[in-house]
């Protein structure tokens, strides 16, 4: 079970994502009335769009909006949730950060041989075989490796866990480049952290080939990707439910994430958002206010409300504190942590 503090942080990411997309939702296509090339090409699909799309300009605007949602999920939401669940973070190994790692000549040759074998099909992906070739620290690592960034980086006294989070539909030809990047990253991490086990995975947030939201079939999914099964073994891929359970160390994590999203992502989202931000509702409609906070997993605010009398007593007559108390709990989709910290300090 995801602990409440992490559920709240995930909920805040959901609120932030929804708020940004509501602000940009195309209520009409007035800003996209002139898209002659798109409309010209779409005429070829008029029979397929018939009875499904009545307003082509709006359809074009909506497609752009959906692309923005996909980008937000892929570049922000999934990564943030992964960090919350795993207690990991994004880590750069670059020259600019002065964290560039080194690789040995033997490792460079091994990586080149592995990639050639996989590309030509003379070898199938085999994690144990490949690790045996690149985990070689018997020679001096004199060569600077290429810069790389780990999307989810988790370090303990005994191991390094790194995960590359990817879209479920990478660009054609991208899988080979990802494999080479991961091989080099593992080789350099092995040199940099002697004695620690190095685990590097490629992760996908869901399986679009599955008939169920949390289901997955890795063999089928890798065949679905261009060159997926050519470069990656099953045991270096984390897919859908498996990825989220791995990150949390528990079961049914993906189901719980979807429950959080479904509780918040309703057509009444903006009305409820504005309701929570109305200061008087905290005082005059407390029971309903707390019920909504519970549904949205905003446990910090419930804690403040349970100590509301003490807070109001301590801020009475202090204009600055009163102004902080009356601030909205959400600002442009972001939770107002500054307000919370200030008020929480009054009851500790």
Tell me, rounded to whole angstroms, the distance of Cα 28 from its chain centroid.
Answer: 30
**Residues 214 and 158 placed together within one structural domain of the fold:** yes
Q: Maximum distance among all alpha carbons in the chain?
A: 79
Structure tokens at 303: 């804690």
Residue 148 has pLDDT above 80, yes or no: yes
Residue recorded with tokens 């490792």: 107
Domain that holds residue 240: 89-259
Q: What are phi and psi of 148, to 5 degrees?
A: -155, 160
Same domain, 57 and 93: no
Q: What is the pLDDT of residues 279-323, one digit of tens each?
A: 899 989 999 999 999 999 999 999 999 999 999 999 988 889 899
Query: Whole-angstrom Cα distance, residue 165 to residue 160?
Result: 16
Looking at the structure, do residues 79 and 156 belong to the same domain, yes or no?
A: no
Domain stops at, among 239, 259, 279: 259
Number of domains, the chain:
3
Same domain, 239 and 137: yes
Per-residue pLDDT of 7-64, as tens digits, reads 999 999 999 999 998 887 877 655 656 677 777 778 788 888 888 887 777 788 788 8
Answer with the one of 259, 292, 315 that is the final residue of a domain. Answer: 259
Question: Does 41 share its domain with 16?
Answer: yes
* Rounded Cα–Cα distance for residues 164 and 237 (Å): 10
**Do residue 122 and residue 232 come from a single domain?**
yes
222, 129: one domain: yes
Residue 189 sits in the same domain as residue 244: yes
Residue with tokens 């690789």: 103
Rg (CA), the chain: 25
164 and 188 belong to one structural domain: yes
CA angle centred on 278, ends 277 and 279, rounded to 5°: 105
**Pick from 237, 227, 92, 259: nearest CA to 165:** 237
Q: Are residues 151 and 233 located together in one domain of the fold?
A: yes
Give the pair of three-digit tokens for residue 204: 């996908």
Same domain, 193 and 96: yes
Domain boundary residue, one of 40, 61, 84: 84
- Residue-level pLDDT at 334: 95
Under a CB-based contact definition with an 8 Å cutoff, are residues 296 and 268 in contact? no
Q: What one-character DSSP code corresponds to residue 76?
A: I
- Say yes or no to pLDDT of 135 above 90: yes
CA angle at 256 for the pair 294 and 220, rounded to the nearest 5°: 160
Query: Is 299 exposed, middle or buried, given 0-12, 13-18 or 19+ CB atoms closer than 10 A?
Result: middle
pLDDT tens readout for residues 181-213: 999 999 999 999 999 999 999 999 999 999 999
CA atoms within 13 A on the CB side of 64: 15
Q: To 10 degrees, the CA torsion angle through 206, 179, 107, 91? A: -50
The pLDDT value recorded for residue 24 is 79
Quick: pLDDT tens for 90-118.
999 999 999 999 999 999 999 999 999 99
Are 236 and 275 members of one domain? no
Q: pLDDT averaged over the chain? A: 92
């Amino acid at each position: 079970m995801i602990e409440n503090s992490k559920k709240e942080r995930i909920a805040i990411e959901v609120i932030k994502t929804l708020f940004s997309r509501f602000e940009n939702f195309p209520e009409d296509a007035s800003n996209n009335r002139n898209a002659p090339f798109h409309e010209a090409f779409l005429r070829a699909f008029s029979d397929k769009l018939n009875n499904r799309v009545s307003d082509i300009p709006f359809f074009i605007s909506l497609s752009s909006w959906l692309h923005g949602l996909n980008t937000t999920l892929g570049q922000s939401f999934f990564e943030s949730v992964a960090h919350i669940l795993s207690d990991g973070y994004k880590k750069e190994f670059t020259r600019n950060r002065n964290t560039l790692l080194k690789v040995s000549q033997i490792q460079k040759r091994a990586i080149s041989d592995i990639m050639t074998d996989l590309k030509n099909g003379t070898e199938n992906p085999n994690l144990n075989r490949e690790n045996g070739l690149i985990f070689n620290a018997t020679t001096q690592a004199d060569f600077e490796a290429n810069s790389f960034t780990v999307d989810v980086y988790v370090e303990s006294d005994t191991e390094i866990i790194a995960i590359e989070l990817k879209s479920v539909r990478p660009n054609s030809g991208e899988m080979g480049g990802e494999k080479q990047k991961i091989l080099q990253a593992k080789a350099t991490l092995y040199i940099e952290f002697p004695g620690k086990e190095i685990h590097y995975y490629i992760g996908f947030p869901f399986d679009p080939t599955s008939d169920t939201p949390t289901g997955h079939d890795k063999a089928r999914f890798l065949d679905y990707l261009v060159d997926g099964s050519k470069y990656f073994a099953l045991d270096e891929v984390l897919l859908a439910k498996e990825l989220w359970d791995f990150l949390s160390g528990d079961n049914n994590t993906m189901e719980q994430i979807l429950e959080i999203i479904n509780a918040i992502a309703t057509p009444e989202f903006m009305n409820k958002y504005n309701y929570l931000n109305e200061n008087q509702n905290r005082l005059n409609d407390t029971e309903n206010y707390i019920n909504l906070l519970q549904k949205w997993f905003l446990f910090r605010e419930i804690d403040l409300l349970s100590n509301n009398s003490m807070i109001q007593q301590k801020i009475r007559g202090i204009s600055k504190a009163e102004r902080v108390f009356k601030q909205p709990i959400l600002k442009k989709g972001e939770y107002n942590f500054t307000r919370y910290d200030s008020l929480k300090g009054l009851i500790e």
